[in-house]
Structure 1
Amino acid sequence: MHREKGFMLCRFNVVRLAALLLLLAWKTGYARPDMAPLGPNIADRGSAYYHFSVKEFHSRDGQRHYKVWRGVPNKSAPPGGFPVLYMLDGNAAMDKLSEAFLQKLFAANPPVLVAVGYQTDLPFDLDSRAYDYTPPGTARQQLRGRAGGGSHAFRHLLEESIAPAVEKGVTINPAQRGLWGHSYGGLFVLESWLSSSFFTTSFSAVPSLARNDFQLLKAMEAVSPQQAAGKHLYLMEGDGDRRALDENSESGVLPRVRHTLAQLNQHGVLATYRLFPGLTHGVMFTTSLQAALLQLAQAER
């Protein structure tokens, strides 16, 4: 009997420990990304459907250095111009593009691809993205000790320097100019949707809202149809990490997101919530990127 009770107590403690570790992983931003150096991407290998070029940019303070890939479809632009998708974390985004996927885009209404990355052979520049993608006032303890709060400066660089340079010589449809970002990048997309009309289609994938103390969601709730005119927001979530934590909790991330987007829809704001059941934070990087590209290309999923 004592052995059975001891076994049950041990099992209970293991379950508690597992739950604690899951909660800790959620609060610290899920599993750390794979930081193995990247090999050649589709731009290096070449494509039958897109031709690629690369430009370099620098932050105004000289502390961050960007590498930007542009992919233009190997066909004439449609009458209104090509759609275009700006992809944050461009190094990792380029690594996820395959020739088979580009063929699928090419068969529809292919967008121009703009991957905004950093001058590194790693998938992510962790310090630079933490600074560039987070709103002013973001504390270091929210970013594992990294400096944050540089989103305004990065947005100015993106809209005033990077975009004019990469769109030069290409017929772009400004009514189909999209922005995609994942995690911290998802925060940047939401803040851009709130504060700028440069991008008409915004794809925010699993934004790190809890790190922002839900301030962006609170700001979103006050948006009027006039403020959001001509813009469409897609907020993409996976519940593979959060299902147990958010279950029956109105204060969890997913219920808060659903409630906010439901309010926006009631007010006549174009906002679409897409849930990818069972997908984790990391897996959502590739899935949401492909979904955004297919949506902009009006291709079948």
Structure 2
Amino acid sequence: MGAYALPGTEQFLLRREEGGQPYRIMVAAPTQKPPSQGYPVLYALDANALFGTLVEALRVQSRRPEKTGVLPAVVVGIGYPHDCPFDESRFCDFTMPTPREVLESLPVRTPGQPWPETGGADAFRRFIESRLKPRIERDYPIDRSRQAILGHSLGGLFVLQTLLTQPHTFHSYIAGSPSVHWNKRLIEEQAAGLEACLPRFGGALKLLITVGELEKDHPSGMNANARVLYERLSSLAGKGLHTDFVEFAGEGHVSVLPGLASRALRFALGE
């Protein structure tokens, strides 16, 4: 027998620009007939680590949406052209320009090892908007009013940054264990400015922030930072932003991923 492939999936390489870095794009499409307005779509970062978990969870749960509350949807994973779960490029793709003094204050990854290149989030966001979304909308019937994005850790930071700076780009935002500590002051400043931006946007947005219970002992202050941000943004419910917070009992920074995937589907694709 040959290698097992996830049913209903395809993958291809898509470059940021001519001659630029290629991304491994993984797509799963429903077998059900699309609704008249098209399928909802969930874009997932770190697809090398998360895509399979998301697709299998969605394939099972969307069979009976009247029972699970999860509608059939297109899942688009944004990964890198290898089979490792994570890639060093994520440090650049998922982070804003970061002053050297801020980097030096972060919890050290490995003693004596310098940080990889950082600060490419704006370029990565442009890639999603100008290159990836048009390709997906060309090949699949997509409901543009129901677009979600999921990211974990630095990916969660990227999701928050996207909401805080360009809230019109997605309808639902899922930030799992977001690395708020990466540049906490900037996040706080941008959160304060979101309130003025939401009335101009005029749409109803959703944000889910999650952490694992065992992450509370991480030197970054992961859980406390996430909860403070949730409490701040939940005050914007009257302005058009609905915010939820989930702490997964007994889970750490990596073991939380399957629970995050399942909860993200219900949050973004619920009827």
TM-score by length of 2: 0.81
**% same residue:** 26
| Structure 1 position 242, deviation (Å) | 0.6
2:165 equivalent in structure 1: 195
Q: CA offsets, 1:210-256, max 9 Å, x none?
A: 1213421331133223156422221122232216989xx9x942442
2:207 equivalent in structure 1: 233
Contact 1:105 1:294 in 2 (8 A): no
Contact 2:58 2:265 in 1 (8 A): no
2:248 equivalent in structure 1: 276
The one-letter code matched in structure 2 to 1:118 is Y
2:53 equivalent in structure 1: 96
Contact 2:153 2:177 in 1 (8 A): yes
Larger radius of gyration: 1
Structure 2 residues not aligned, in runs of 5+: 66-70
Q: How many residues are paired up?
A: 250
Task: Mark the CA change 1:234 to 1:228 in structure 2 (over 3 Å): closer, same or farther.
Answer: farther
| Structure 1 position 290, deviation (Å) | 1.9
The one-letter code matched in structure 2 to 1:114 is V
Contact 1:221 1:264 in 2 (8 A): no
| Structure 1 position 111, deviation (Å) | 1.1
The one-letter code matched in structure 1 to 2:142 is I
Contact 1:130 1:147 in 2 (8 A): yes
Contact 2:97 2:118 in 1 (8 A): yes
Q: CA offsets, 1:136-177, max 9 Å, x none?
A: 225454475111100000000011101111221321111110
Contact 2:32 2:72 in 1 (8 A): no
Task: Mark the CA change 1:234 to 1:114 in structure 2 (over 3 Å): closer, same or farther.
Answer: same
1:260 equivalent in structure 2: 232
Task: Mark the CA change 1:133 to 1:240 in structure 2 (over 3 Å): closer, same or farther.
Answer: same
1:134 equivalent in structure 2: 95
1:68 to 6, 15, 25: 25
Matches within 5 A, 1:137-286: 137=98, 139=100, 140-141=103-104, 142=106, 145-196=115-166, 197-224=168-195, 225-227=198-200, 229-230=202-203, 231-242=205-216, 252-265=224-237, 269-286=241-258
Contact 1:180 1:186 in 2 (8 A): yes
Task: Mark the CA change 1:270 to 1:255 in structure 2 (over 3 Å): closer, same or farther.
Answer: closer
Task: Mark the CA change 1:283 to 1:62 in structure 2 (over 3 Å): closer, same or farther.
Answer: farther
Task: Mark the CA change 1:217 to 1:110 in structure 2 (over 3 Å): closer, same or farther.
Answer: farther
Calculate the aligned-residue CA RMSD, in Å. 2.7
The one-letter code matched in structure 2 to 1:45 is A
Task: Mark the CA change 1:77 to 1:133 in structure 2 (over 3 Å): closer, same or farther.
Answer: same
Task: Mark the CA change 1:214 to 1:228 in structure 2 (over 3 Å): closer, same or farther.
Answer: farther
1:119 equivalent in structure 2: 81
Q: Aligned partners of 1:229 and 1:273: how far apart in 2?
A: 23
Q: Aligned partners of 1:137 and 1:160: how far apart in 2?
A: 24
Structure 1 residues not aligned, in runs of 5+: 1-39
| Structure 1 position 74, deviation (Å) | 0.5
| Structure 1 position 58, deviation (Å) | 2.2
TM-score by length of 1: 0.74
Q: Aligned partners of 1:92 and 1:285: how far apart in 2?
A: 9
Contact 1:111 1:296 in 2 (8 A): no
Task: Mark the CA change 1:61 to 1:284 in structure 2 (over 3 Å): closer, same or farther.
Answer: farther
Task: Mark the CA change 1:244 to 1:150 in structure 2 (over 3 Å): closer, same or farther.
Answer: closer
Greater displacement, 70-79 / 253-262: 253-262
Q: Aligned partners of 1:275 and 1:138: how far apart in 2?
A: 31
Task: Mark the CA change 1:98 to 1:53 in structure 2 (over 3 Å): closer, same or farther.
Answer: closer
Q: Aligned partners of 1:182 and 1:115: how far apart in 2?
A: 13
